[in-house]
Amino acid sequence: MKQKERRPGQKKTSGPSGESRRDDRAGRPPKPPAARPPAARETVREAAVPAAAERPLTTRSGERPTERVPVILESLGAGDFHLIDSGNGEKLEQYGPYRIIRPEGQALWRPSLPAHVWEKVDAVFTGDIDEEGSGRWRFPKAALGETWPLNLLGVDFHGRFTSFRHVGVFPEQIVHWSWMKEQVEKAGRPLKVLNLFGYTGVASLVAAAAGAEVTHVDASKKAIGWARENQALGRMEKLPIRWICEDAMKFILREERRGSQYDIILTDPPKFGRGPNGEVWHLFEHLPLMLDVCREILSPKAVGLVLTAYSIRASFYSIHELMRETMRGAGGVVESGELVIREAGLDGKTPGRALSTSLFSRWVPK
């Protein structure tokens, strides 16, 4: 469906643990590996992804969890972000002090606000919007620095103008982060959270600030560096976060062998990725094993397993049924659908149209 935008500086697709973040949410089919230029390997989130399953899938018995579909998780914005308007294949967003225009293939309609509003912007992403090529930012008013401070859910972090139109955060994930924050705060015990494909660490910081012990995994050294910068910006260096620079699949397979367990797992894999050694990741081929391993490392008192999928041509039912099969015998509920952001106007409080951003599936114990 759509892809996630990410990576400060650059975003190229890479493997399951260091993937390139969502191309452009327009739901384009993945490009064949041969077409990938060398530069694509340097991207944020380089991940070494196993070319084949490292163990067979677990044979599970028992009833599948009950289901709740379709579920639309909607955000009107939060903190320093809101979607002002959208249309004609673009979106107009507010990120702290800056008004920004970026491409948005899902915006098939016409803008609601007049042209003069769209013209008064601080930054416009132009040029090649393909994940394999570099685009450019145009600054109509004045040249801006690469980063600027932002805040969501009480966490400070850096917004970034990257060459792949990403700005260092995927605001549609606010709904998942708010849910996670609530679970951690009401648990009455320190929950262990695993954030796979953690990118710039906003979700990890939200979880840790709420009281969780967090393990953040990303295969990109740049992404880990940016996450640490965000931690320092918010003066959160003492929070219990392990920053792991490694391929996500390799990490969770090792955790399974060690008997490690987590109460909440967030996983946000790319649709296609290539690792530094030529390993190839395909969402439809490797996702079943990834979820299967995640099931094995959930604790007996687990609170949830969350999967988000961008830029795939599939119904949410495809990942919904996979999640139900993965969690067979575990009880609970699997709720699946879409994440959407609703336009909020110039004032951030006037609801408009809903812009679809990604598919998701979430298992919860009840």
pLDDT digits (tens, 9 = 90+) for 315-365: 999 999 999 999 999 999 999 999 999 999 999 999 999 999 999 999 999
CB 223 within 8 A of CB 199: yes
Alpha-carbon span 4 to 21, nearest angstrom: 5
Report CA Rg, the chain.
19
Of the listed ranges 21-25, 241-245, 284-288, the one predicted with least confidence: 21-25
Determine which of 90-104, 167-181, 211-225, 280-294 has the lowest per-residue pLDDT on average: 280-294
Q: Say what the pLDDT of residue 350 is.
A: 96
Q: Which pLDDT belongs to residue 36?
A: 34
Residue 122 has a pLDDT of: 98
Residue 314 pLDDT grade (very low, low, confident, very high; cuts 50, 70, 90): confident
- Tell whether the model's pLDDT for residue 185 goes beyond 90: yes
Reported confidence tier of residue 134, pLDDT bands at 50, 70, 90: low
Q: What is the pLDDT of residue 308?
A: 97
Q: Is a pLDDT exceeding 90 seen at residue 141?
A: yes
Rounded distance between C-alpha atoms, residue 156 and residue 150, angstroms: 6
At 104 the pLDDT is 95
For residue 6, pLDDT beyond 80: no
Examine the pLDDT at 158 and tell me if it is beyond 80: yes
- Rounded to whole angstroms, the Cα distance separating 323 from 298 reads 14
Q: Where are the domains of the chain?
A: 66-78+168-364
Q: Note every long-range contact of 100-103, with CB atoms under 8 Å and residues 24 or more positions apart, other chains counting.
A: 100/124, 100/125, 100/167, 101/125, 102/5, 102/165, 102/167, 103/24, 103/129, 103/165
- Banded model confidence at residue 270, pLDDT cuts 50, 70, 90: confident
For the residues 98-127, what does the mean pLDDT come to?
96
Q: Mean per-residue pLDDT for 186-196? A: 97
String of b and e for 52-77 (b: at least 16 CB within 10 Å)?
Answer: eeeeeeeeeeeebbebeeebebebbb
What value does the mean pLDDT of the chain take? 85
Give the pLDDT score at 219: 85
Comparing 66 with 17, which gets the higher pLDDT?
A: 66
Does residue 282 or residue 302 have the better pLDDT? 302
Instruction: Indicate the fold that domain 66-78+168-364 takes in CATH.
Output: Rossmann fold (3.40.50)
Handedness of CA 349, 27, 117, 137 (dihedral sign): positive
pLDDT tens for residues 234-262?
999 999 999 999 888 989 999 999 999 99
Does residue 133 carry a pLDDT above 60?
no
**What are the tokens at 2?**
């759509």
Q: Are 204 and 191 in contact (CB under 8 A)?
A: no
3-state secondary structure of 98: strand
Provide the pLDDT confidence category of residue 287 given band limits of 50, 70 and 90.
very high
Query: How high is the pLDDT of residue 14?
Result: 41
pLDDT in tens, 36-88: 333 332 333 334 444 445 799 999 999 999 999 999 999 998 899 999 999 99
pLDDT of 127 strictly over 90: no
If pLDDT is split at 50, 70 and 90, which confidence band does 281 have? low
Is residue 29's pLDDT more than 80? no
Angstrom CA distances, 139 to 6, 89, 163, 291, stand at 20, 20, 14, 42
Given a cut of 80, whether residue 202 has pLDDT beyond it is yes
Residue among 320, 357, 365, 304 at smallest CA distance from 69:
320
What local confidence, expressed as pLDDT, does residue 306 receive? 98
